[in-house]
Amino acid sequence: MALMELKNVSTYYGNIQALKGISLSVEEGEIVTLIGANGAGKTTTLMSICGITPIRSGQVILDGVDISSISPHKIVSMGLSQVPEGRRIFPQLTVLENLDMGAFLRDNKSLIKADLEEVFELFPRLAERRNQAGGTLSGGEQQMLAISRALMARPRILLLDEPSLGLAPIIVHNIFQIIKRINEERKTTIFLVEQNANMALKIANKGYVLQNGAIKMADSSEHLLVNEEVRKAYLGL
């Protein structure tokens, strides 16, 4: 049984249909990526999963439970966390305070402390800046903080929305290596929405191609990387 599954999910903004009956699955332990052009519906897919944008029809299943009508904060408590597009950290709060916000649904202080140390091991830069306001960090550091804040909820599945957006190539490379480490070392399942299809497919197990709100293609990442249509449309080759 898949850890997360979307079954014929349709989402609307008013009378405009943004998602057109999409279905996909993410097995436990996988990195799965959803690629597509701007406006294809990638962020809407994540918002629909998290309950922020209500779906009109279909089901979102998390570990066998239909979460389609469950409130977003309860979904987090069930083991799903999202790193939103544009990072959306709390700029006036310190790095530590931002991380504390990620653990707001947890009450075991010793486990929270252990996770905090783990996060600082993943991102030593954040440890150095733990008392610095989030808004004064660089773009790459803010992305590290956004990922770390989501990890502080101790999710079983981590949703990432465009983690490479606006970052320098060397920072993008580092971020993707960290995503791979999170998957391998913390055993966290990853669902990655990303416009940088080349980087995403290189670390993912499988991928879905979203076009105009519908799944156009689904295959292993290995096959998608050599698919001529994908190479021309999304890899710039």
Rg from Cα positions in the chain: 17
Our CA dihedral for 14, 16, 21, 25, rounded to 10 degrees, sits at: -80
Instruction: Give the E-state strand segments of 52-198 in sequence order.
Output: 57-62, 65-66, 80-83, 157-161, 189-193
Confidence band for 195, pLDDT divided at 50, 70 and 90: confident
Residue 217's φ and ψ, nearest 5 degrees, are -155, 145
DSSP class of residue 136?
G
What burial class does residue 218 get, using C-beta atoms within 10 Å of its C-beta: 0-12 exposed, 13-18 middle, 19+ buried?
middle
- Which domains does the chain carry? 1-79+187-237 (3.40.50.300), 80-154 (no CATH)
User: Please, which residues have CB within 8 angstroms of residue 16's CB and are 6 or more apart in sequence?
Assistant: none
235 or 237, which is more confident: 235
Q: What is the pLDDT of residue 169?
A: 87
Res 235 pLDDT > 70: yes
Read off the pLDDT of residues 76-132 as tens digits, 9 standing for 90 and up: 999 999 998 878 888 999 999 999 999 888 888 888 899 899 999 999 999 999 999
Report, as an integer, the average pLDDT of 197-201: 92
pLDDT band (50, 70, 90) for residue 68? very high
d(CA 57, CA 7): 9
For residue range 143-193, what is the model confidence (pLDDT) as tens digits? 999 999 999 999 999 999 999 888 888 888 999 999 999 999 989 999 999
| Count of CB atoms situated within 10 Å of the CB of 211 | 16
| Residue-level pLDDT at 237 | 57
* Residue 9 · residue 59 · CB < 8 Å: yes
Q: How far is CA 114 from CA 90, 120, 126, 135, 185, in A?
A: 23, 10, 15, 25, 15
For the segment 6-50, what is each residue's pLDDT rounded down to a tens digit? 999 999 999 999 999 999 999 999 999 999 988 899 999 999 999
Single pTM value for the model: 0.92
